[in-house]
Amino acid sequence: MVISGFGTFTGGIDLPDEKDAAIAAAIAPAGHIGRLRVPCAPVQAAAARPTVRIGQFVTRGERLAEATNADQVDIFAPLAGRVAGFCEVMLPAVSGVGRPQHPTGWRRSDAVELTDLDSPAGIGPLTENYDWPAADEHSIRLRIAEGGLTTFRRPVVPLAGYIASARQAKVDTLIANVMENTPFITADHRLLVEQGLEVVRGLAILARAVGAAEVILAVDHRRTDAYHRTVAPAKLYGISSIALAHKYPIGADAILTKVLTRRRVPPGATGLAVGVAVTDAATCHATYRWVACGELPTARVVTVAGPRVNSPANMLVPFGADVSEVFDLVGVRGDGKCIHGSAMTGRQIVAGAVTGPSANALLALAGEQQPTPTPCIRCGWCSDNCPARLNVSALNDDFELGRPDAARRHDAMACIECGICSYVCPARLPLMQRVRLLKQAIET
């Protein structure tokens, strides 16, 4: 594995690792789950149309809802069970996209409720039943579209649509981003340790589907010893394994793209604008298991951790599990806030939240739910550490004075929503959230 030797970036901070409690925890099946409320809109689009009726028993993998257009994906039962009804659940929203958002950054999705469930299983070995190395790229893309695959990171979109966008953008480089350099989260790390060959093969499949000539597996340099055995075959598939220093937020797509390719992503754009597509370990893993072995995507590995969790774990959690029920499986003590996603950029969990493709972590953190902000003292820490080199205190002024036009001039759209400004601010101002709101105001 190549260590460093690549570009770096200005700004950023060293975050505490805080992964000791979960980093050695092997991926385990979720314990007993009483009900699933499986989202019919895991992607931020109109819900797929249910194809089941109340009272019907379904088998694992049976279709629950069918896509009626290319913005949706088919929905399959994560476990065998009985259809108890139809309801609404909450999933994380993406800024400025799709249906009206909940003020907390969550969105509603129609869902199929299943009860009388089978026990969840772990990640079992599979046999390949599709000769993907011999298949042509078009056939691989068709197969991906048939499996209801989405990306497993925000924004969650149909994987077939993401591939089509990448091809349209004439992407020449595909990066699997396994930096995972925020505290507590080890889901992708465990996937690479335990399922490295499947992740690598999935990346190779995606590279062919996208048409990328350059394929990079980017990992944290502190973890390379754990990956040698599992990612060694990457070379066979023409994949470069590259270990990078862990300064946060190197795992942000725009930063990773700049560090690895020296291409600068324009403000408000994605890597596709400069010919780079970025994926993750969970998407690669799901791609391999569907394309090569025919396993439908109905679950993901979730790190459940944080200082208030009794038994931190990496669990394979079926889509549609109540977040509160997942926390009950590991035990949570004391008061604090519960977060979906990373401690830096995640969202506080709301009632009705369930797991979906992007739920890589559920964290029970200590500390106040909503710290009380005080006025800016002009210390400059936010701007000094901002990796987008923004004048964050000026943007905070724009927010407080309701000046989206000024925020546009202050380059708010270049914000990558890393959360560093909020993290370092001694006045405890929710700066990232304020800049996110300014971006939404600029876009509307």
Contacting residues toward ligand SF4, per CB under 6 A: 376-382, 386-388, 390, 392-393, 396, 415-421, 424-427, 429, 431-432, 435
Burial of 370 per CB tally in 10 Å (0-12, 13-18, 19+):
exposed
- Dihedral Cα 85, 155, 362, 194, nearest 10 deg: 100
Minimum distance from residue 186 beta carbon to ligand SF4 (Å): 23
The least CB distance from residue 340 to ligand SF4, in Å, is: 18
Q: Which CB, 332 or 388, lies closer to ligand SF4?
A: 388
Cβ at position 250, least distance to ligand SF4 in Å: 13
Minimum distance of ligand SF4 from residue 435's CB (angstroms): 5
State how far the alpha carbon of 439 is from the alpha carbons of 90, 95, 132, 411, 416, in Å: 23, 8, 42, 10, 11
**Is the alpha carbon torsion for 274, 280, 283, 285 positive or negative?**
positive
Using an 8 Å Cβ cutoff, are 333 and 307 in contact? Answer: no
* Least distance to ligand SF4, CB of residue 244, Å: 19
Q: Which is nearer to ligand SF4, 315 or 412 (CB)?
A: 412
Nearer to ligand SF4, 158 or 387 (CB): 387
Nearest distance from C-beta of residue 12 to ligand SF4, angstroms: 9
Whether the bond between 249 and the residue before it is cis, its omega within 30 degrees of 0, is yes
Nearer to ligand SF4, 227 or 423 (CB): 423
Q: Where are the beta strands (DSSP E) in 319-356?
A: 337-340, 347-348
Nearer to ligand SF4, 36 or 390 (CB): 390
Task: Check if the beta carbon of residue 206 is closer than 8 Å to that of residue 221.
Answer: no
Residue 412 structure tokens:
């708010």
Angle, CA 399 vertex, CA 393 and CA 403 arms, to 5°: 110
Other C-beta atoms within 10 Å of 401: how many?
Answer: 9
Comparison of 114 and 265: residue with beta carbon closer to ligand SF4 = 265
